[in-house]
Amino acid sequence: MATMKDDGVPSGDRRVRRTRAALARALLELAEERDLSRISVSDVAERAGVSRTAFYDHYRDVHELAEAACTAMIDDLIGFLPASGPDPKGEGPETLAAFFASLAGHAGLYRGLLGPRGSAHVTDHVRRRLAAAVRDRLRREAAGRPSGPAGSPEESHDVLAAFVAGALIGVASDWLQRECPQSPGRMAALTWPLLSALDPGGRGDAGVPA
């Protein structure tokens, strides 16, 4: 039975978190030194200062660890994502640049998992999280506008959110595979006008047939 410390968290749970955090840090470091396919369980365990047995207590293999680390970081990245359409505060390019900068910060890992031989699980997770973030923002923006033509905007929101998510994944993956030849700021400058042109401010829904 796990013991409890003053903070009320079982010591066993803290050990699990510490071990997983150490393994994730080790993998991120190694992924910047070599391709993901060339990183072994022994490499990660040695870098993390744990045994191979401890590694296998938490993950089946390096790929599962990479997926866990990548999806956790993606969840943090979503906060950087601006919605498409009008940007009255002028924050879109800056937040999009932060998104690309975060990808570049762990380019080795993202390159391995979002590339042609990467993880379908991670790609789908990224797509769904990006689409959900865009969809939520579109709904908030729509709630503050007068009602448009009869009919629910949900369908157009779903299509636009899926389109934006797919486009960003494609652009980011291509950039990573080419080893980030443009800076994050330049990528934001190139990408933001494309997203802005989608304009979810009401005009884009008018031409959608019922």
CA distance 74 to 70: 6
pLDDT of residue 94: 85
Structure confidence by residue, pLDDT tens digits, 15-71 = 999 999 999 999 999 998 998 889 999 999 999 999 999 999 999 999 999 999 988
**Residue 123: is it exposed, middle or buried by C-beta count within 10 angstroms (0-12/13-18/19+)?**
middle
Percent of the chain as helix, strand, coil, to the nearest 5: 70, 0, 30
The CATH number that domain 11-59 falls under is: 1.10.10.60
CB count, 10 Å around CB of 47?
18
Q: How far apart are CA 106 and CA 31, in angstroms?
A: 8
N- to C-terminal Cα separation, the chain = 60
Predicted local distance difference test score (pLDDT) of residue 116: 85
pLDDT by 10-residue block (mean), the chain, 210 residues: 46 85 95 90 97 96 93 77 54 83 90 87 89 81 58 70 89 94 94 76 40
Residue 190 · residue 182 · CB < 8 Å: yes
pLDDT of res. 79: 62
- Residue 38 is classified by DSSP as G
